[in-house]
Structure 1
């Protein structure tokens, strides 16, 4: 019984995170893309585990074919320390991962709503917009973009912040936290779009 319960919890965590990663996105076209990586509270002078993972997920969201057309936007203010989360993430991307692509920093935000509000001017020229974080948090940010700028929200496409088996053991906990985090979203903001045949 215990083993069956554990398997069920893991399967549920996997399913709900996958579902969130596909909500409020479309199959947008166009060359120019913006990848927005949302910061996480960081009390130290170097990027913590969560921010390091988000940077890696952001870079893999670029896609090799579109790398020269993509701008990575790191967003996050000095919430946990005197150094903005955006700067810590950018430093990790450059110095540890060797990322040499185009980077912009948004260093004032203290909340997810502010993350979106403050990156809006940086998204105007993007044909495709990808928001990177844990799936529930990224979905919340996409919903906020739709509320603040529905025209830009039409350009949202999937990021590579969900992969089967990644974070497997903690996905049920992330899912529980996500259910609580997303309680303010409407039903149509939480579910993936219906796929039409043809």
Structure 2
């Protein structure tokens, strides 16, 4: 009985830890700015099949729900190249957004990137062209934080426009959030201390 109770407490603690850490990452390197125009950058995940995979479908949904209702001009930028010579992740995500989610807003594609660093490098010219007030990066919270840190390194002037995307919601993916948190800690180990600072 005590063993079961201990396991239950450990399980609840792990879920709470994963939830908290993902929430915290969603708050880092973002401001609270608002504006009349915005760009939502949706980062792709390796996708060798001919349709958007589970993770890319979720990222697209997170990106679309990140579009602010009050913004007069919103564009969604899908970023990701082809995996193994197939169709680019950006195109697969855009197709899913339009055909399944019915998104009819402005869409731009960045279809050459193979890494998160390349995502940001190749998205920068598009962000310059659209010249928006706010920039949101949608992905799993740890991955989005990594991308925001990369934008801050490459173009601190554009990073000043970063605001939160709606890619963290309490309870969403709750069972796997402890695993996402562990993986996130590993992927974020290269970030500097000032890139982990919560800007509220």
Q: TM-score, normalised by structure 2?
A: 0.94
For residues 149 and 114 of structure 2, the distance between their equivalents in structure 1, rounded to whole angstroms, comes to 17
For residues 192 and 20 of structure 2, the distance between their equivalents in structure 1, rounded to whole angstroms, comes to 19
More deviation, 118-127/166-175:
118-127
Q: 1:45 to 1:9 in 2, by over 3 A?
A: same
Corresponding residue to 1:15 among 17, 20, 26:
20
Corresponding residue to 2:182 among 176, 179, 185:
176
Task: Give the corresponding residue for 2:73.
Answer: 69
For residues 11 and 80 of structure 1, the distance between their equivalents in structure 2, rounded to whole angstroms, comes to 37
8 Å Cα contact 1:76-1:106 kept in structure 2 = yes
SS at match of 1:113: helix
8 Å Cα contact 2:52-2:92 kept in structure 1 = yes
Task: Give the corresponding residue for 2:121.
Answer: 117
Task: Give the corresponding residue for 2:51.
Answer: 46
Q: What's the CA shift for 1:81?
A: 4.6
For residues 128 and 48 of structure 1, the distance between their equivalents in structure 2, rounded to whole angstroms, comes to 28
Corresponding residue to 1:90 among 88, 94, 98:
94
8 Å Cα contact 2:36-2:70 kept in structure 1 = no
SS at match of 1:118: helix
Task: Give the corresponding residue for 1:128.
Answer: 134
Q: For each residue in 1:79-120, what CA deviation from the matched residue of structure 2 results, as whole angstroms up to 9, or x when unmatched? A: 245100000000000001110000000000000000000010
Q: What's the CA shift for 1:191?
A: 3.0
Aligned residues between the structures: 193
Point out where structure 1 has 5 or more consecutive residues left out of the alignment. Answer: none
Corresponding residue to 2:145 among 113, 120, 139:
139
For residues 28 and 40 of structure 2, the distance between their equivalents in structure 1, rounded to whole angstroms, comes to 17
8 Å Cα contact 1:36-1:130 kept in structure 2 = yes
Runs of 4+ residues over 6 Å off in structure 1: none
CA RMSD of aligned residues (A): 0.9
Q: 1:7 to 1:36 in 2, by over 3 A?
A: same
Task: Give the corresponding residue for 1:99.
Answer: 103
